[in-house]
Structure 1
Amino acid sequence: MTPRYFPAVDPTAVSAWLDELATRSPRPLVFALLPEAEKARVGDLQSGCCERGLDLLGAIFPTLLTEQGFTTSGVTLVSIENSTGHFLVPDLAVQPAYAAERIAWAVGQARGADGHPGPRQLFLVFDSMLPSIASILVKLFNRLKHDFTYAGVNAGSETFQPMPCLFDNQRLLGNGTIGIILDGGTHIAVQHGYPVSKSSMRATSTAGNRIDKIDGQPAMAVYQQVIAAEFGIRLTTDNFYDYAVHYPFGLVGSLEILVRIPVAFNEDGSIFCVGEVPANSMLRLLKAPALENSSCVHTVLRQLGPCADAPLLTFYCAGRRLHFGDEASNELRELQMNSGASAIHGALSLGEISTNGDIGIPEFHNAALVCLR
């Protein structure tokens, strides 16, 4: 897996890189990361890969990340030599069981094409506007079981407005997912490192990613009470967007806490989050850490193992960047310095996916750092 960042979608430079890939045997998969500002260049990438007989999968993200920090220009192209199958599945804005069935069928088709033995990893990129990604992942695990470990991210616009954001050689679409099956040679780490408060609440009424009631009261009223009691903050509708990203909900799972960042609210007191919140689930209030107190990078590097002189493909949650602000670039520099990676390339993501290390179920995160080498 070799990422290459091009500061501009320069036809000469990109064509030369694609020409070099086209001479390899077997030919690698081209995985393209485009920032939203460059979305008009999808057709150029499709034409370039088709002309050379290269398979292409790609996604549009809010911004890219490079060794120099975050950028809204250029393109990152990743040569994936160890993919044993890949796919793009459209039309997933349906019941989670049907969506999972469509993905499982695509996995079967892709996997059946090569018959590669050994452990597999399934890396998924969803359109962030799909309303039931967490449920789709659970249903997908019910179909595929422990055949894979799972990881991935969400693509799309940071405005959370619908936008076609997934593409292959011929198509550009929304409401879908791309999937890349990797052999066991890729190391993946996903972490958020958010500490948990003492508070405990129950989401007594929810609908997808909307929390209507907490402990039988309007969700906003309880959120205001808990954030005042735990952190002394007077939360209002006017300053909601100033504080919500720093004080997200924690969805209590069987073995860990999953971050759910509030992103909007209704006049009736309901709150919308990035990611589903099942009815009657337990919630804790989280406080996003100061960078100097965060152990996230060290935890990621323990999971990844030695990265010296190897490039690191990295996805950084948009909510995490909102919390850290200018210090987000410092966290990326810390990641590169402590990992010894030869380069860091990637994108800003809108939700992240990992595998629960104890029971193997895929989990949907906010505020996480995703690294692949």
Structure 2
Amino acid sequence: MKKVQYFENMIHLLNSKLEFSNKYLILVAENTIFDLEQLNSLNIEFVGAIVPEIIFDNKHLKEGLVIYTLNLNSQMNLIEDMNNIDYLKKENFHKHSSFIIIVDGLSSYITKFLESTFQVLPLNSKIVGGGAGKSTLKQEPIIFSNSGIYQDSALVISMNLKLNIAVENGWQYLEGPFLVSSCDKNCLKSLNFSKAFKAYKEVIEKDCKIKITKDNFLDVCKSYPLGIIKFDEEIIVRDPIFLDEDENIILIGDIEQNSTINILKGNKEYLLNASKNIVNKACKNIQKDDIQAIAIFDCISRSTYLGKDFVEELNHIKKQSNDKLIFGALSLGEIANNGNEYINLYNKTCVVGVLC
């Protein structure tokens, strides 16, 4: 039985011989014609999500489905409402300490949900995952199971496997630090007590020599994310995606009041170098022969920035994989926890989980 399988379309999947007794995680690329009713006709137990692109081996694909066969004692939970913390408290997550978590990447409840999830998971839990959704950035139902398809929802899959995590981004410092003097969830209003867009715009226009408007905001700013400075000097990247009607900067993922940020800048060489040893980093203290599969959640905007060079990042990962099966998604935000900190939501970052 293959742990990871790729199907070009629903027809190929429906003609496959998936075993009734197994449990499956299904990732669907956004351009795929997807029919939940047809999927249910296979009489298998599954959870899944629609994502901008799927990753299989060293390829990223805008159409098709990739399926990871879970161990039979894995626990699959679909949380229909990420704002319903009471539901989380009712679940028993203490059987295992390795998790795949996939959330609606455009939900306004992500931070609240991850904070609540952290409270109910076992200590030292290892987590890999990301944000589902479509590259249109229009929110719609994208998290599914046998029971239906939902938005503002999440998957929490617990496994009795060993999971090792590595996180890399490669974005470089441009200007800062700046104080986040006013914000509301993922809406950044002011930096250093001045309009956030004004401060951000001045730095970017000076560097790229291009005037930023609402029309070209995403195209220019994909090269200039924000970096939240953590106490351990880790930088958590936040992706600016558009300006609202008041010219506040809307991010993928929340930002905290009075936090400190830097403005970052992209350099393809630095980004690709960051991924050169990511699997080896994740494989520290384990034997590569013990690897069952490698899960990747890599940011869709990172792929957009790297363009045709993004395949080089996947080739780096493939080269380190010892020919193990690779699956995952280009995501709207990446999720990771190495067992000793809060669950972090990243942007423009490559997160790898080695499953043993």
**Identity fraction in percent:** 22
Indicate if the aligned counterparts of 1:146 and 1:360 stay in contact, CA closer than 8 A: no
Given candidates 130, 142, 145, the residue that maps to 1:165 is 142
Alignment pair present for 1:73 and 2:63: yes
Indicate if the aligned counterparts of 2:238 and 2:251 stay in contact, CA closer than 8 A: yes
Alignment pair present for 1:9 and 2:10: yes
Q: CA deviation at 1:55?
A: 1.9
Indicate if the aligned counterparts of 1:151 and 1:353 stay in contact, CA closer than 8 A: yes
Contiguous gaps of at least 5 residues in structure 2: none
Indicate if the aligned counterparts of 2:88 and 2:120 stay in contact, CA closer than 8 A: no
Moved more, 215-224 or 313-322: 313-322
Alignment pair present for 1:102 and 2:87: yes
Moved more, 334-343 or 300-309: 300-309
What's the counterpart of residue 300 of structure 1?
278
Indicate if the aligned counterparts of 2:118 and 2:343 stay in contact, CA closer than 8 A: yes
Indicate if the aligned counterparts of 2:28 and 2:54 stay in contact, CA closer than 8 A: yes
What's the counterpart of residue 34 of structure 2?
40
Indicate if the aligned counterparts of 2:253 and 2:333 stay in contact, CA closer than 8 A: yes
CA distance in 2, matches of 1:100, 1:296: 36
Q: CA deviation at 1:282?
A: 0.6
What's the counterpart of residue 269 of structure 2?
291
CA distances 1:93-124 after superposition (whole Å, capped 9, x unpaired): x3xxxx44422423x2x65xxxx4xx611221
Q: CA deviation at 1:157?
A: 1.1
Taking a change above 3 Å as real, the CA distance of residues 192 and 67 of structure 1, as seen in their structure-2 partners, is: same
The 3-state SS of whatever aligns with 2:255 is coil
Indicate if the aligned counterparts of 2:109 and 2:152 stay in contact, CA closer than 8 A: no
CA distances 1:99-151 after superposition (whole Å, capped 9, x unpaired): 44422423x2x65xxxx4xx611221111121131232223323436162232
Taking a change above 3 Å as real, the CA distance of residues 180 and 39 of structure 1, as seen in their structure-2 partners, is: farther
Moved more, 69-78 or 209-218: 69-78
Q: CA deviation at 1:225?
A: 1.9
Indicate if the aligned counterparts of 1:198 and 1:284 stay in contact, CA closer than 8 A: yes
What's the counterpart of residue 62 of structure 1?
52
Taking a change above 3 Å as real, the CA distance of residues 5 and 245 of structure 1, as seen in their structure-2 partners, is: same
CA distances 1:230-268 after superposition (whole Å, capped 9, x unpaired): x35444114322221111000112221110010001353
Q: CA deviation at 1:39?
A: 4.7
What's the counterpart of residue 239 of structure 2?
261
The 3-state SS of whatever aligns with 2:256 is coil
Alignment pair present for 1:248 and 2:225: yes
Taking a change above 3 Å as real, the CA distance of residues 68 and 9 of structure 1, as seen in their structure-2 partners, is: farther
Question: What's the TM-score once normalised by structure 2's chain length?
Answer: 0.88
Moved more, 189-198 or 346-355: 189-198
Matches within 5 A, 1:22-41: 22=20, 27-41=21-35
Given candidates 200, 207, 212, the residue that maps to 1:236 is 212
Taking a change above 3 Å as real, the CA distance of residues 147 and 344 of structure 1, as seen in their structure-2 partners, is: closer
Indicate if the aligned counterparts of 1:194 and 1:288 stay in contact, CA closer than 8 A: yes
Question: What's the TM-score once normalised by structure 1's chain length?
Answer: 0.84
CA distance in 1, matches of 2:225, 2:211: 13
What's the counterpart of residue 337 of structure 1?
319
Taking a change above 3 Å as real, the CA distance of residues 191 and 120 of structure 1, as seen in their structure-2 partners, is: same
Given candidates 166, 180, 188, the residue that maps to 2:165 is 188
Q: CA deviation at 1:42?
A: 2.5
CA distance in 2, matches of 1:335, 1:89: 31
Q: Of Structure 1 and Structure 2, which has the larger fraction of its residues in strand?
A: 2
Given candidates 58, 75, 78, the residue that maps to 1:85 is 75
Counterpart AA for 2:237: V
Q: CA deviation at 1:292?
A: 5.8
Given candidates 187, 205, 211, the residue that maps to 2:188 is 211
Q: RMSD of the TM alignment (CA)? A: 2.5
Given candidates 285, 298, 307, the residue that maps to 1:316 is 298
CA distance in 1, matches of 2:35, 2:352: 26
CA distances 1:188-211 after superposition (whole Å, capped 9, x unpaired): 333323233342101111011010
Indicate if the aligned counterparts of 2:171 and 2:270 stay in contact, CA closer than 8 A: no
What's the counterpart of residue 351 of structure 2?
370
Moved more, 310-319 or 31-40: 310-319
Q: CA deviation at 1:35?
A: 1.4
Counterpart AA for 1:120: S
Taking a change above 3 Å as real, the CA distance of residues 288 and 174 of structure 1, as seen in their structure-2 partners, is: same
Moved more, 167-176 or 34-43: 34-43
Indicate if the aligned counterparts of 1:351 and 1:366 stay in contact, CA closer than 8 A: yes
Q: CA deviation at 1:354?
A: 0.9
Moved more, 252-261 or 304-313: 304-313
Counterpart AA for 1:257: I
Q: CA deviation at 1:14?
A: 4.4
Alignment pair present for 1:176 and 2:153: yes
What's the counterpart of residue 278 of structure 1?
256
Instruction: Show structure 1 runs of 4+ deviating over 6 A.
Output: none
Indicate if the aligned counterparts of 2:101 and 2:156 stay in contact, CA closer than 8 A: yes
Contiguous gaps of at least 5 residues in structure 1: none
Indicate if the aligned counterparts of 1:5 and 1:77 stay in contact, CA closer than 8 A: yes
Moved more, 309-318 or 32-41: 309-318
